Amino acid sequence: MAVFANGILFEGVDTSDPNCWKIEAYQARGGYQALKKILTEGISQDDVIAELKTSSLRGRGGAGFPTGLKWSFMPRSFPGDKYVVCNTDEGEPGTFKDRDILRFNPHALIEGMIIAGYAMGAARGYNYIHGEIFAEYERFEEALDEARRAGFLGQNILGSTFSYELFAHHGYGAYICGEETALLESLEGKKGQPRFKPPFPASFGLYGKPTTINNTETFASVPYIITQGGQKFLELGKPNNGGTKLFSVSGHVNRPGNYEIPLGTPFAELLEMAGGMRGGKKLKAVIPGGSSAPVLPGDIMMQCTMDYDSIAKAGSMLGSGAVIVMNEDVCMVRALERLAYFYHEESCGQCTPCREGTGWLYRVIHRILNGEGRPEDLELLDSVGNNMAGRTICALADAAVFPVRSFTKHFRHEFEHLIEHKTPLVNHKWC
Amino acid sequence: MLEIEIDGKKLTVPQGSTIMDAAHSVGTYIPHFCYHKKLSIAANCRMCLVEVEKAPKPLPACATPVTDGMRVHTHSDLAVKAQQGVMEFLLINHPLDCPICDQGGECQLQDIAVGYGGGSSRYQEEKRSVPGKDMGPLVSAEEMSRCIHCTRCVRFTEEIGGFQEIGMANRGEFSEILPFLGKTVDSEISGNVIDLCPVGALTSKPFRYSARSWELSRRKSVAPHDGLGSNLIVQVYNHKVMRVLPLENEAINECWLSDRDRFSYEALNSDARLTRPMIKHDGKWHETDWQTALDYVVKGLTGVSAQHGKDAIGVLAGAGATTEELYLLQKLARAFGVNNIDHRLRQRDFAADEGQTGALWLGSTIAEMASANAVLVVGSTQRHEQPLLAARLRQAVKKGAELNLIHVADDELLTRVNAKLIVAPQALADGLAQVLKAVAELKGASANLDLSGVTVYDEARRIAESLVRAETASVVLGSVAQHSPVFSQLLAIGGEIARLSGAHFGVFSEAANSVGAQFVGALPRRGFAGAAVTAGLNAAEMIAAPRKAYVLWGVEPEADCHDGQAAVAAMKAAETVIAFTAFKGDGLLDYADVLLPTAPFTETAGSFVNMEGKLQTFNGVVRPLGETRPGWKVLRVLGNLLSLQGFEQNTVEDVRAEFVGPFGDGAAKLSNAVSGVALDKPAVTGLVRVGEVPMYHVDAIVRRAPSLQATVHAKAPVASANPAVLAAAGLADGELAVVRQGACEVRVPVKADAGLPEGVLRLAAAHPATVGLGGLFDPIELKRG
Ligand SMILES: Cc1cc2nc3c(=O)[nH]c(=O)nc-3n(C[C@H](O)[C@H](O)[C@H](O)COP(=O)(O)O)c2cc1C
Ligand code: SF4
Ligand code: SF4
Ligand code: FES
Peptide bond into A79 cis (omega under 30): no
**Which chain B positions have a beta carbon within 8 Å of A351's beta carbon?**
44-46
The whole-angstrom distance between B46's CA and the closest CA on chain A is: 7
DSSP per residue over B707-720, as a string? HHHTSGGGSPP-EE
Percent of chain A with pLDDT strictly greater than 70: 98
Percent of chain B with pLDDT strictly greater than 70: 99
Would the CB atoms of A353 and B85 count as touching at under 8 Å?
yes
Would the CB atoms of A347 and B168 count as touching at under 8 Å?
no
Q: Identify the pLDDT of residue B667.
A: 55
Would the CB atoms of A344 and B151 count as touching at under 8 Å?
no
In tens, the pLDDT along B512-550 reads: 999 999 999 999 999 988 888 999 999 999 999 999 999
Question: Residue A286's Cα: distance from chain center in Å?
Answer: 17
Q: Work out the average pLDDT over B597-605.
A: 98
Would the CB atoms of B89 and A348 count as touching at under 8 Å?
no
Q: Identify the pLDDT of residue A5.
A: 64
What type of residue sits at position B283? G
Q: Identify the pLDDT of residue B532.
A: 87
What is the residue with the minimal CA distance to atom 23 of ligand 1? A214
Phi, psi of B188 (to 5 degrees): -75, 0
**Which chain B positions have a beta carbon within 8 Å of A346's beta carbon?**
171-172
Give the Å distance between the CA of A92 and the centre of ligand 2.
15
Give the Å distance between the CA of A62 and the centre of ligand 1.
6
Give the Å distance between the CA of B128 and the centre of ligand 4.
23
Q: Which of A83, A113, A299, A54 is nearest to A206 (CA)?
A: A83
Task: Answer whether residue B665 shows pLDDT above 60.
Answer: no
Mutation to probe ligand 2, out of A89, A92, A175, A176 (largest number of atoms < 8 A from CB): A176
For residue B193, which atom of ligand 3 is closest to its CA? 3
Task: Answer whether residue A2 shows pLDDT above 80.
Answer: no
- Helix ranges (H only) for B96-160 are 108-116, 152-155
In tens, the pLDDT along B227-255 reads: 999 999 999 999 999 999 999 999 999 99
For B718, residues 6+ apart whose C-beta sits below 8 A from its C-beta are B748, B749, B750, B751, B763
Q: Identify the pLDDT of residue B391.
A: 96
User: What is the rounded (10 degree) CA torsion for A182, A185, A189, A193?
Assistant: -50
Mutation to probe ligand 3, out of B47, B199, B203, B204 (largest number of atoms < 8 A from CB): B199
In tens, the pLDDT along A144-157 reads: 999 999 999 999 99
**What 3-state DSSP class applies to A326?**
strand
Asked if A93 and A342 count as a contact pair (C-beta separation under 8 A), the reply is yes
User: What is the rounded (10 degree) CA torsion for A412, A414, A419, A421?
Assistant: 140
Percent of chain B with pLDDT strictly greater than 90: 95
Nearest listed ligand to the Cα of residue A397: 2
Asked if A107 and A26 count as a contact pair (C-beta separation under 8 A), the reply is yes
Query: Angle B487-501/B458-469 helices, nearest 10 degrees?
Result: 50
**Which chain A positions have a beta carbon within 8 Å of B118's beta carbon?**
none
Top residue of B173, B175, B176, B180 to mutate, by most chain A CBs within 10 Å, is B173
What type of residue sits at position B356? Q
Task: Answer whether residue A101 shows pLDDT above 90.
Answer: yes
Nearest listed ligand to the Cα of residue A211: 1
Would the CB atoms of B82 and A391 count as touching at under 8 Å?
yes
Rounded to a whole number of angstroms, the CA Rg of chain A reads 22
Nearest listed ligand to the Cα of residue B200: 3
Closest A-chain CA to B81: A387
For residue A355, which atom of ligand 2 is closest to its CA? 7
Instruction: Identify the band that residue A162 occupies on the pLDDT scale cut at 50, 70 and 90.
Output: very high
Would the CB atoms of B172 and A345 count as touching at under 8 Å?
yes
Rounded to a whole number of angstroms, the CA Rg of chain B reads 28
Question: Measuring from each residue's beta carbon to the nearest atom of ligand 4, which residues come in under 6 Å?
Answer: B 32-35, 43-48, 60, 62
Task: Answer whether residue A424 shows pLDDT above 60.
Answer: yes
Q: Work out the average pLDDT over B564-591.
A: 97
What is the residue with the minimal CA distance to atom 14 of ligand 1? A179
Facing residue for B89 by CB, picked from A349, A352, A393: A352
Task: Answer whether residue A49 shows pLDDT above 90.
Answer: yes
Instruction: Identify the band that residue B190 occupies on the pLDDT scale cut at 50, 70 and 90.
Output: very high
The whole-angstrom distance between A418's CA and the closest CA on chain B is: 19
Residue B150 near ligand 3, beta carbon < 6 Å: yes
Q: Which of A315, A313, A286 is nearest to A299 (CA)?
A: A286
Task: State the ipTM, two decimals.
Answer: 0.94
CA A108 – CA A32 distance, rounded (Å): 8
In tens, the pLDDT along B369-402 reads: 999 999 999 999 999 999 999 999 999 999 999 9
Instruction: Identify the band that residue A291 occupies on the pLDDT scale cut at 50, 70 and 90.
Output: very high
Q: Are strands A305-306 and A265-266 parallel, antiparallel or unpaired?
A: antiparallel
Which neighbouring-strand residues pair with B507? B477
Give the Å distance between the CA of B176 and the centre of ligand 3.
9
- Helix ranges (H only) for A252-349 are 267-273, 298-302, 308-313, 332-346
DSSP secondary-structure letter at A53? H
Give the Å distance between the CA of A183 and the centre of ligand 1.
9
Nearest listed ligand to the Cα of residue B176: 3
**Which chain A positions have a beta carbon within 8 Å of B46's beta carbon?**
351-353, 391-392
In tens, the pLDDT along B732-764 reads: 999 999 999 999 999 999 999 999 999 999 999
For residue A182, which atom of ligand 2 is closest to its CA? 5
**Which chain A positions have a beta carbon within 8 Å of B90's beta carbon?**
352, 356
Buried b (16+ CB within 10 A) or exposed e, B375-395: bbbbbbbbbbbbbbbbbbbbb
Facing residue for A380 by CB, picked from B122, B128, B174: B122
Q: Which of B523, B573, B580 is nearest to B544 (CA)?
A: B573
Q: Which of B652, B642, B532, B530 is nearest to B601 (CA)?
A: B652
The whole-angstrom distance between B453's CA and the closest CA on chain A is: 45
**Which chain A positions have a beta carbon within 8 Å of B170's beta carbon?**
349
- Average pLDDT score, chain B: 96
Q: Which of B726, B718, B708, B732 is nearest to B763 (CA)?
A: B718
In tens, the pLDDT along A77-92 reads: 888 999 999 999 999 9
Asked if B425 and B380 count as a contact pair (C-beta separation under 8 A), the reply is no
Would the CB atoms of A358 and B151 count as touching at under 8 Å?
no
**Which chain B positions have a beta carbon within 8 Å of A359's beta carbon?**
93, 125, 128, 172-173
Residue B152 near ligand 3, beta carbon < 6 Å: yes
Instruction: Identify the band that residue B685 occupies on the pLDDT scale cut at 50, 70 and 90.
Output: confident
CA B775 – CA B464 distance, rounded (Å): 32
pTM of the full predicted structure? 0.95
The whole-angstrom distance between A185's CA and the closest CA on chain B is: 14
Would the CB atoms of A349 and B149 count as touching at under 8 Å?
yes
Give the Å distance between the CA of B202 and the centre of ligand 3.
7
**HSE toward the beta carbon, residue A185, CA cutoff 13 A:** 16
Asked if B342 and B453 count as a contact pair (C-beta separation under 8 A), the reply is no
Facing residue for B44 by CB, picked from A346, A350, A363: A350
Give the Å distance between the CA of A215 and the centre of ligand 1.
7
Give the Å distance between the CA of B158 and the centre of ligand 1.
29
For residue B45, which atom of ligand 4 is closest to its CA? 4
Q: Work out the average pLDDT over A192-200.
A: 95
Task: Answer whether residue B664 shows pLDDT above 70.
Answer: no
